[in-house]
């Protein structure tokens, strides 16, 4: 740790800030009485990089470091806490310390976990030579295979800490064409995608929807936002290793091809993408015939949803670029 900066769970450098305004009194009371009894908080620092939640690093007098997560939009606290416990022996995750999913004690839903050392893989990949990128890609692929080894009774979405997919009979893979149509109608595509581009996007979804039927019924754990910015890595014994998979708020039960499509959405350094796929296979992951096309089609769920975000959102423009590239392919 440097004198006045530290690397956080997203690898961003943050300046010290001990202002009480970052953490309400009710949360501080929960921390000192429930989550960290007997430990005195000596430093509070905002973490850069959370887009759906507020993340704050905390250091106690005994030198321990933690991350406090506050939920700005959807309250996924119970789901993330349950997954952290279930995945502790499956894949590297931030160790759960305490959680208040209802906010009954802290005044709002909060989750406290240990701070994991490491840098975002998105940053690491910018500087790695090809052999190291290949090694890291294989490690990431194997981690995704382990995530997909966790199965559930049915496809669906998690509503609480019981991790029971629902609603009954729902199929996350079905209805791509209807979903894209809804996002185009209710979102901000008008004026940013031409009429011709929107027609092509609708046709792409209409053609892909029946092809995706071969994946229906899949009930594996899907991270939902599996990409380098949500992965941490650290150099150990001269080799880059995955230290944590972060941000499980979008997790659900379906096909791992959702996560593969997300990871391969953007261009990656030479060798990383193929090593990622090889690592997934080596780790026991199953790739059906025509998986590249199927995974790209599934990724359209995320891309189309991004069209409903405000146009100033940092991922709105990226979604436009990727949709155009997808149509060109």
pLDDT tens-digit readout, 67-110: 999 998 899 999 999 999 999 999 999 999 999 999 999 999 99
Q: Kindly report which listed range (214-218, 241-245, 314-318) carries the lowest average pLDDT score.
A: 314-318
Mean pLDDT rounded to a whole number for the chain: 92
Task: Reduce the DSSP state of residue 166 to 3 states and report it.
Answer: strand
Q: Is residue 90 part of a domain?
A: yes
Contact 240, 134 (CB under 8 A): no
pLDDT above 70 for 10: no
Q: Assign 57 a pLDDT band (cuts: 50, 70, 90).
A: very high
* pLDDT tens digit sequence for 270-281: 899 999 999 999
Q: Is residue 1 part of a domain?
A: no
Whether 261 and 135 share a structural domain: yes
- CA separation, residue 274 to residues 78, 229, 267, 279 (Å): 35, 19, 12, 8
pLDDT above 80 for 20: no
The percent of residues in the chain predicted with pLDDT above 70, rounded, is 92
Mean local confidence (pLDDT), 147-158 = 98
Domain end marker among 117, 140, 166: 117
Whether 68 and 214 share a structural domain: no
Mean local confidence (pLDDT), 233-244 = 92
Q: Assign 50 a pLDDT band (cuts: 50, 70, 90).
A: low
User: How buried is 57 (Cβ within 10 angstroms: 0-12 exposed, 13-18 middle, 19+ buried)?
Assistant: buried
Contact 45, 79 (CB under 8 A): no
Domain CATH number, residue 225: 3.90.1200.10
Q: What is the pLDDT of residue 72?
A: 86
Q: What is the pLDDT of residue 16?
A: 40
Domain CATH number, residue 65: 3.30.200.20
Mean local confidence (pLDDT), 1-11 = 40
Whether 313 and 232 share a structural domain: yes
Distance (Å, whole) CA 51 – CA 53: 6
* Sequence-ordered alpha helix ranges (H) in the chain: 25-30, 77-86, 121-124, 130-148, 176-186, 195-211, 257-263, 272-282, 291-306, 316-328
Q: What is the pLDDT of residue 277?
A: 98
- Print the domain residue range for 149: 120-328
Q: Assign 17 a pLDDT band (cuts: 50, 70, 90).
A: very low
Q: How many domains does the chain have?
A: 2
* pLDDT tens digit sequence for 113-151: 999 999 999 999 999 999 999 999 999 999 999 999 999
The percent of residues in the chain predicted with pLDDT above 90, rounded, is 86
Task: Give the pair of three-digit tokens for residue 281.
Answer: 């296979």
pLDDT above 90 for 19: no
Domain end marker among 87, 117, 147: 117
pLDDT above 80 for 1: no
Distance (Å, whole) CA 120 – CA 154: 32
């Amino acid at each position: 740790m440097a004198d006045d900066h530290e690397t956080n769970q997203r690898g961003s450098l943050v300046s010290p800030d001990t202002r009480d305004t970052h953490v309400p009194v009710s949360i501080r009371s929960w921390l000192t009485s429930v989550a960290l009894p007997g430990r005195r908080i000596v430093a509070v620092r905002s973490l850069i990089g959370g887009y759906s939640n507020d993340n704050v690093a905390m250091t106690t007098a005994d030198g321990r470091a933690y991350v406090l997560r506050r939920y700005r939009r959807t309250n996924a606290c119970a789901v993330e806490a349950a997954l952290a416990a279930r995945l502790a022996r499956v894949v590297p995750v931030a160790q759960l310390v305490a959680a208040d999913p209802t906010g009954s004690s802290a005044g709002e839903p909060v989750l406290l976990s240990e701070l994991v050392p490491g840098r975002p893989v998105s940053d690491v990949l910018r500087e790695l030579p090809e052999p190291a990128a290949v090694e890291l890609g294989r490690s990431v692929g194997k981690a995704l295979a382990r995530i997909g080894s966790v199965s559930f009774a049915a496809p669906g979405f998690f509503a609480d800490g019981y991790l029971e997919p629902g609603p009954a009979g729902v199929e996350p893979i079905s209805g791509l064409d209807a979903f894209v149509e809804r996002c185009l109608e209710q979102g901000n595509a008008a004026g940013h995608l031409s009429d011709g581009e929107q027609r092509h996007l609708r046709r792409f979804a209409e053609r892909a929807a029946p092809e995706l039927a071969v994946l229906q019924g899949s009930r594996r754990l899907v991270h939902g936002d599996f990409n380098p910015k949500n992965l941490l890595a650290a150099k150990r014994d001269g080799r880059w290793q995955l230290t944590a998979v972060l941000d499980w708020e979008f997790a659900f039960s379906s096909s791992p091809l959702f996560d593969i499509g997300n990871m391969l959405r953007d261009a990656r350094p030479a060798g990383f993408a193929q090593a990622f796929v090889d690592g997934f296979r080596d780790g026991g992951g199953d790739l059906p015939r025509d998986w590249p096309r199927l995974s790209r089609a599934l990724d359209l769920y995320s891309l189309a949803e991004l069209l409903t975000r405000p146009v100033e959102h940092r991922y709105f423009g990226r979604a436009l670029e990727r949709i155009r590239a997808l149509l060109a392919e």
